[in-house]
Structure 1
């Protein structure tokens, strides 16, 4: 069932419930009002006829004739008058006694002064009438033909009005829901046109500050992110293909040359060493890509635990110096640092990858392969700086240094893939930290700031 149909039915149902509640309230109020009005009319008729009986010159026969003549034209009220001893002294028509008075009823009238009750469809009242120092008991009964006709007419009109208004409400609901949801239908038509090859398309955004406009803006934002992701993926695949092609082509060429002609033992060993070097480069590239994939996970899926940054840093120091004996790395940890200032929530593996990249990058581009690491504290948090002297990075290169596969002109003399710094920045940001680089005066410094809140 479409939303438009559901809204229409819900709107119609709510309207029907309100109308039914209102109709029931009006109907029963009218019934109660009619009932009370006719009781008052009966009481007035009873008193009027008692006045006519006790204070007029009409005798009982004339009053009977008056009663019978009235019953031919109107629904006359039947009245009976009793004295205090419960003796009947007047009755409009004793042969047809609607009330069927008995001593018990008359006693109740005398005690309560006034009572009212139903006899099937008839209404009846009993009241005490004082006259010349004596109390007389009067009963009056009748059928409220006009009142019941009015109530039935009201009920008929209410049912017809209910059905008519319900139909009109349903039709109005269809019209209004269609009009209200027309922007959503337009969005659906626009969304159908968006495919993987047309991610540049966007939903039209109106100036209205409503939920549909907010939905369109958020959807456009999602498309923007998807388009950037697709572009980055295409760029990533293109660069990976290029980086893999170089060592593979070199390996194929070396092996083909080795297989086409006889070589000395030393020649074969040299060919094997070259192929082995290219294979190792491919392994390094593969490992870098795996690390990049791990750093690109949803932060909620990466396990964080309590880690000590100084221990991870020293582990990176030991790993890099063990793999590269010619690297000269020094680590200086401020003596004033307390243990709790070095502890944070993080992923040990990813942090070690980031520190490895920073140390290796500093040593690689230093003529003497020297990297100085300093760990300190400032007002914002823990600060770790990686400093090397030698090649200065230009301002233009600094703008792109953290982009994937970007390599400056100065760095192309060293082997690399342009992934390390991009991966490092991603890992640092995952840990709610920041990284900045400053290069000048024959010195380059990468500074990582771990906030206290992180």
Structure 2
């Protein structure tokens, strides 16, 4: 069932329920008022007859004649008087055979009066007590006009209820369609967007309502999806390029070696060259594998160690200094914390070591003098590490892309590498719920800053 139909049904059911409650209340009030008024009229008839016959001892035949002459007689009106032994001593119309049972007479004597219905007739009985004994006067009649009024009212309310419910259902269907029209437009627009025109976006209304907020959210999602597609295409293109070069070199060298017979030394050089290309290919494959395995889904499995960062940076200093005689890494610590736990974080030691080593090695590699400075600051909730060097600054237009896989800036184009290191560093930091930032300007040092929570 569509949302439009559900909203129509619920709106119609709500209005119909309220309307039904109102109409039932109106009918019940009219029924109560009509019945009460008719019983009051019967009571007055019984009182009048009782006073004339019992208290003033008027002639019964005269009373019958007066009753026939009066124009205010009720339909099928009958007055019956019972003595103390429940015997009938007066009947205004003997051709109406209906009478009250003795059990009812007993209740009237006990309670002084009683109103009830029997076989379509309405009865009102009262007790008269005199010196000559106790009597019961019973007035009965058919509430013809009241019943006709109630029947007319009932059919009128039923017809009005059906009419209003129909109008409500139709109006609700129109209003629901009008309210959901922006959703239909969103559905049609999103259906048109992919895969051909990814740049199209949903229109944003001026009204600050739920539809506008939903459109903004969907546009942001489409931006992220488009960016993801672009990164995926760029990743595939770069991987293909990086894999193609060593494979082409290997194939070319082997084909040249097979063209003619060569001396063992030439074959040996070819094998060494092919082996070097295979090592490069293996290194690239290993880095790609590391990059693909780092995601938030397996964070709980990887981040299970308590890592002392002060000890880790000393290890990185030794390892990077050993890579080249030109490299020189210096470490500077901020104020040491009183709590040793503030020098530790929960994470994966191997991954953190890879990230910091890549940053430090890059700092030394692109430094003018091969030097890099690692600074560590211990704070209450976070641990900050910065890697700094003096060298050619990164261009401002390249800063937003340096953490993307396979991206290589102009100043690193002639340096051996694959453009994966910084992307790997960024993913490792994000996996540890940290943040990484970079600042690089002309005349100032290049600074990579990492902030990790304890």
Q: Same fold (TM over 0.5)?
A: yes
* 1: CA distance, partners of 2:114 / 2:176: 57
Show the counterpart of 1:282: 281
Show the counterpart of 2:28: 28
Rate the CA distance shift 1:378–1:107 in 2: closer, same or farther, 3 A: closer
Aligned partners of 2:67 and 2:73 also within 8 Å: no
Offset at residue 288 of structure 1 (A): 2.3
TM-score for the superposition, normalised by structure 1? 0.84
* 1: CA distance, partners of 2:375 / 2:263: 51
Offset at residue 82 of structure 1 (A): 3.9
Rate the CA distance shift 1:223–1:274 in 2: closer, same or farther, 3 A: same
Rate the CA distance shift 1:280–1:446 in 2: closer, same or farther, 3 A: same
Aligned partners of 2:246 and 2:280 also within 8 Å: yes
Aligned partners of 1:70 and 1:76 also within 8 Å: no
- State yes or no: 1:432 paired with 2:434: yes
Show the counterpart of 1:182: 181
- State yes or no: 1:93 paired with 2:57: no
Aligned partners of 1:401 and 1:421 also within 8 Å: no
SS at match of 1:115: strand
Deviates more, 1:440-449 or 1:46-55: 440-449
Show the counterpart of 1:350: 351
Rate the CA distance shift 1:170–1:386 in 2: closer, same or farther, 3 A: closer
Show the counterpart of 1:9: 9
* 1: CA distance, partners of 2:398 / 2:230: 23
* 2: CA distance, partners of 1:326 / 1:272: 30
Q: Deviations over 1:205-240 (max 9, x none)?
A: 222222222222211111111111112222222223
Structure 1: 5+ residue stretches without partners: none
SS at match of 1:217: helix
Q: Deviations over 1:299-322 (max 9, x none)?
A: 877743342142554565566567
Alignment root-mean-square deviation, CA: 3.6
Offset at residue 340 of structure 1 (A): 0.5
Show the counterpart of 1:446: 448
Rate the CA distance shift 1:418–1:101 in 2: closer, same or farther, 3 A: closer
Q: Deviations over 1:128-149 (max 9, x none)?
A: 3467897643221222111111
* 2: CA distance, partners of 1:231 / 1:380: 36
Aligned length: 450
Structure 2: 5+ residue stretches without partners: none
Rate the CA distance shift 1:87–1:409 in 2: closer, same or farther, 3 A: closer
Show the counterpart of 1:363: 364
Show the counterpart of 1:233: 232
* 1: CA distance, partners of 2:161 / 2:299: 56
* 1: CA distance, partners of 2:401 / 2:174: 58
SS at match of 1:193: helix
* 1: CA distance, partners of 2:18 / 2:28: 16
TM-score for the superposition, normalised by structure 2? 0.84
* 1: CA distance, partners of 2:119 / 2:315: 101
